Structure 1
């Protein structure tokens, strides 16, 4: 089953940008399709392989900061090829 996941990581610290960049680079280096915009990052793939990967990377990211907020939306379909028709 393919899924689309939207992630927004918000480290609550002064040097937040470096932490976000590190997290996104780890997503980019994966086997999954990754798309970015200024507000969030989307990653697409098979549920059974993508979720364990995200679990590992989110945990690692959380270990590197004192406080962080991660917003995640999961859609049960691969929306990586979505193009608005308006």
Structure 2
């Protein structure tokens, strides 16, 4: 099954750019994902299990690395690449 996720990260810190870039870099380390980043959010496309495993890993890494962070996600069934 294919999955599309639209995810936004809001670090609760003055230096917010570094944690956002770090999260996106961590996502790119996972194989099998198609990632599109824009100024508002990041879209992740791929197989359901692959996407969810990558998100679980990257969100956990982000909490451990940067502390308090808010993630806002939308999950859509299918590969909805533009």
Whether TM exceeds 0.5 here: the answer is yes
* Residue aligning to 1:66: 67
* Residue aligning to 2:23: 23
SS at match of 1:5: strand
Aligned residues: 81
- RMSD after superposition: 1.0
What TM-score do the two structures reach when normalised by structure 1? 0.87
> Residues 1-86 of structure 1: matches in 2 within 5 Å?
1-31=1-31, 32-80=33-81, 82=82
SS at match of 1:64: helix
Post-superposition CA distance 1:20-73 (Å, at most 9, x none): 111111112322100011000001011112101110110110112231100010
Task: Say which one has the larger Rg.
Answer: 1
What TM-score do the two structures reach when normalised by structure 2? 0.91
Tell which deviates more after alignment, 1-10 or 45-54: 45-54
Structure 2: segments with no counterpart, 5+ residues? none
